[in-house]
Amino acid sequence: MMKRVMVLAGALALAACGNGTGEGDSASAAPAPSATPAPVPTELVGTYGAQGADGRPWTTALAADGTYRNTVGGELTESGTWTRSGASICFTPMPVAEQAQAQTCQTLLNVNDDGSLVVRDAGGQETIAPRLADQPQQ
């Protein structure tokens, strides 16, 4: 799905968020949402993107306030909040027509020297999300 290219984006994506396979530490449970979001890691704040398989450019902008915006071809396709816990980067989209949207998570494998992110989605697909020159949030 194009709006999830980055997830990452990400994009900025992941098995560590609980893929229903029963793997991992069975004693750990997903944390309950808190009224105060956890601080986001500043090293990931920025804009990532590239050209998609369909030839249209995509971006995922991760903001310091814990929000994100995905665009495809310059059009906003999704926005919401993002968090990082260990190697998991999780994206929770804003509700659409008052319907909650599913959270998606990816595993952050590496932050390259050029700032690009290497992530793996829950299906095992690895993606490199190139970091773009930071752009102001709209």
Does 34 reside within a domain? no
Question: How far apart are the C-alpha atoms of 52 and 6, rounded to whole Å?
Answer: 10
Does 118 reside within a domain? yes
DSSP string for residues in 80-124: EEEEEETTEEEEEEPPBTTB----EEEEEEEE-TTS-EEEE-TTS
Q: What's 26's DSSP letter?
A: T
Residue 34: its pLDDT value, please? Answer: 44
SS3 51: strand
Residue 10: its pLDDT value, please? Answer: 39
The sign of the torsion formed by the CA atoms of 30, 4, 92, 48 equals positive
Residue 138: its pLDDT value, please? Answer: 45
SS3 58: strand
Q: Provide the residue type at 135 as one letter.
A: Q
Question: The CATH number of the domain where 70 resides is what?
Answer: 2.40.128.280
Of 84, 130, 92, the closest CA to residue 108 belongs to: 84
Does 24 reside within a domain? no
The sign of the torsion formed by the CA atoms of 6, 8, 14, 18 equals negative
Does 27 reside within a domain? no
Number of domains in the chain: 1
Residue 99: its pLDDT value, please? Answer: 86
Residue 33: its pLDDT value, please? Answer: 45
Please report, in tens digits, the pLDDT of each residue of the chain (138 residues total): 333 434 344 344 322 233 333 333 334 444 444 444 445 557 899 999 999 999 999 999 999 999 999 999 999 999 999 999 999 999 999 988 888 889 999 999 999 999 999 999 999 999 999 999 765 444
Q: In the structure encoding, which two tokens stand for residue 30, read together? A: 């997903």
Q: What's 44's DSSP letter?
A: G
Does 26 reside within a domain? no
Q: Which domain holds residue 60?
A: 2-19+39-132
